[in-house]
A and B are shown apart, each in its own frame.
Chain A
Amino acid sequence: MPPSRPPRAPRAPLSASRALLQLTSAALAASALTLAACEDDDPKTTPPAAGTAAGADAGTAAGTDAGTTAGADAGAEPPPVCEPAPTDYPGATWGACVSDGGRYELAGASTPSSAARTAAFERIADLLWRNPALTAESFVQAELIYAEPEGLQSRVARRYDSHVAAPDGANCTLPEAPARWPEYCVGPAAIDPLLGAAFAAGNQGQDLAANAERVRAGLLWFLYVSVYKEANTCATKAADCDSSWAYDNAGKQRDEAPLALGAWVQAASPEAYDALFTAHLAVRCWRDLDSAETATNMELMGNAVAQLDRALDGGYARGLRAELSALAGLTGAEAAARRAGLKVLGLAFTRAQVAAAPSTDAAAWAAAWEGLGAAEGAALSAQLEAAFPCP
Chain B
Amino acid sequence: MRLPPPAPLAALALLSALAALLAPASAARAEDDPAQDSAQDPAQDSAQDPAQDPTQGDTLTVTAPRDPHDAPSEELEGRAAATLRDVDVREQVARSTPEALRGVAGTYVQQTAHGQASAYIRGRTGRQTLLMVDGFRLNHALFRQGPNQYLFTIDPLSVERLEVLRGGASVWLGANALSGAVLVRSKGPSLRAPASAALTLLRTGADGGLGGRAEADLTLARGFGLFVGAGGVTRGPLEASGPLPLKPGLTAAQRIEKSVPRFEADGRTQLGTGYDALSADVAARLQLRGALRGEWTAAARLFRQYNAPRTDLCPPSEAPEGWCLTYNEQFRTHAYTRLALRLGLALAERAEAGVSFQRQHERRTNDRVHYQNIGRDAVRVWEARLKARTRPLDLAGGALRLHYGLDGSAEGVESKAWTRLVRSSVTRQDARGQYLDDSAYLRGEGWAGARWRRAGAWGAWGARLGARLSAARAEAPGDERSSSRAVSRGWAGPTYGGGLTWTPPVREGGPQASPLSLHLNVEQGFSAPNLDDLTARQLTGQGYQVENPALAPERATTYELGARLRARGVEAELWGFALELRDGIERRDAACPPADFGCQGSRTAPPFTLINLPGAAWVLGAEHALTVRLPLRLSLREHASYAWGEGPSPLPSEPGLTRPLSRIPPLNGAVALRWSAPEGALRGAPLSGYLGYEARWALAATRLSFGDQLDQRIPYGGTPASLTHGALFGLRWGAHELLGVVENLTDVPYRTHGSSVNGAARSLNVSLRLAL
A contact residues vs B (CB 8 Å cutoff): 1-3, 16-17, 20-21, 23-24, 26-28, 30-32, 34-35, 37, 39-40, 42-46, 108-113, 115-117, 119-120, 140, 143-145, 147-151, 153-154, 157-158, 172-175, 177, 188, 196, 199-200, 203-204, 233, 236-237, 240, 293-294
Contacts and interface: CB of A to CB of B under 8 A. Distances in A.
9 contacts: A28-B230, A30-B230, A31-B280, A34-B280, A34-B302, A110-B589, A147-B419, A148-B601, A233-B253
Interface stretch (B318-326, B499-507, B523-531): B318-326
Given A2-B306, A46-B427, A144 B199 contact: no
A157 B423 contact: no
B523 to A, nearest CB: 39
Contacts of A115: 600
Contacts of B606: 109-110
Contacts of B289: none
A196 B320 CA distance: 16
Contact of A149 (B212, B424, B601): B601
A26 B201 CA distance: 14
B624 interface: no
Nearest to A18: B772
A196 B361 CA distance: 33
Interface stretch (B370-378, B615-623, B750-758): B370-378
B374 A34 contact: no
A154 B319 contact: yes
B421 A44 contact: no
Given A147-B421, A200-B424, A27 B368 contact: no
A35 B423 contact: no
Nearest to A242: B605
A82 to B, nearest CB: 35
B618 to A, nearest CB: 28
A147 B426 CA distance: 12
A27 B425 CA distance: 39
Nearest to B605: A113
B59 interface: no
B279 interface: yes
A108 B304 CA distance: 44
B214 A26 contact: yes
A344 B592 CA distance: 34
B770 interface: yes
Q: Which 8 A/B pairs are nearest by Cβ-Cβ distance?
A: A27-B214, A31-B230, A116-B600, A150-B601, A31-B280, A236-B251, A147-B371, A236-B253
Contact of B601 (A17, A154, A196, A293): A154
A157 B278 CA distance: 36
Contacts of B282: 31
B304 A203 contact: no
A153 B302 contact: no
Interface in B411-429: 416, 418-421, 423-429
A257 B539 CA distance: 32
Nearest to A157: B320
Interface in B238-254: 251-254
A174 B423 CA distance: 21
A23 B419 contact: no
Contacts of B251: 236-237, 293-294
Given A23-B214, A27-B214, A35-B302, A203 B602 contact: no
B6 to A, nearest CB: 11
A187 B318 CA distance: 13
A200 to B, nearest CB: 5
A27 B213 contact: yes
Given A20-B197, A120-B601, 7 more contacts: A42-B416, A110-B605, A112-B605, A140-B424, A140-B428, A203-B426, A204-B424
B232 interface: yes
A22 to B, nearest CB: 10
Residue from the set B214, B282, B427, B770 with the largest chain A CB neighbour count within 10 Å? B214
B597 A151 contact: yes
Contact of B199 (A24, A31, A45, A110): A24
B371 to A, nearest CB: 4
B103 interface: no
B328 interface: yes
Given A109-B606, A148-B601, A154-B601, A34 B228 contact: no
Contacts of A24: 197-199, 214-216, 772
Contact of A28 (B216, B302, B368, B601): B216
Given A42-B416, A46-B427, A113 B368 contact: no
Interface string B235-275: 00000000000000001111001000000000000000000
A43 B424 contact: no
Contacts, number: 192
B320 A116 contact: no
A132 to B, nearest CB: 23
B231 interface: yes
A89 B623 CA distance: 60
Given A40-B329, A43-B420, A203-B421, A149 B426 contact: no
A144 B420 CA distance: 8
B418 A20 contact: no
A27 B318 contact: no
B363 interface: yes
Interface in B351-377: 361, 363, 366, 368, 370-371, 373-374, 376
B645 to A, nearest CB: 24
A27 B230 contact: yes
B595 to A, nearest CB: 11
A30 B772 CA distance: 20
Interface in B217-237: 228-232
B441 interface: no
Contacts of B152: none
Given A2-B304, A20-B197, A110-B589, A27 B231 contact: yes
A189 to B, nearest CB: 12
B136 interface: no
B174 interface: no
B315 interface: yes
Nearest to B259: A173
Contact of B772 (A21, A32, A145, A177): A21
B331 interface: yes
B563 to A, nearest CB: 46
Interface in B376-423: 376, 378, 416, 418-421, 423
A233 B605 CA distance: 17
A16 to B, nearest CB: 8
B597 A120 contact: yes
A158 B319 contact: yes
B370 A196 contact: yes
A2 B278 CA distance: 8
B2 interface: no
B373 to A, nearest CB: 6
B603 interface: yes
A2 B280 CA distance: 13
Nearest to A195: B370
B163 interface: no
Given A151-B601, A173-B320, A203 B254 contact: no
Contacts of B231: 27
A39 B361 contact: yes
B598 interface: yes
A186 B253 CA distance: 20
B77 interface: no
Residue from the set A3, A116, A140 with the largest chain B CB neighbour count within 10 Å? A116
Contacts of B198: 24
B426 A46 contact: yes
B304 A34 contact: yes
B57 to A, nearest CB: 23
Contact of A173 (B257, B318, B331): B318
Interface in B147-183: none
Given A39-B331, A149-B539, A294-B251, A144 B419 contact: yes
A150 B253 contact: no
B597 A145 contact: yes
Contacts of A32: 280
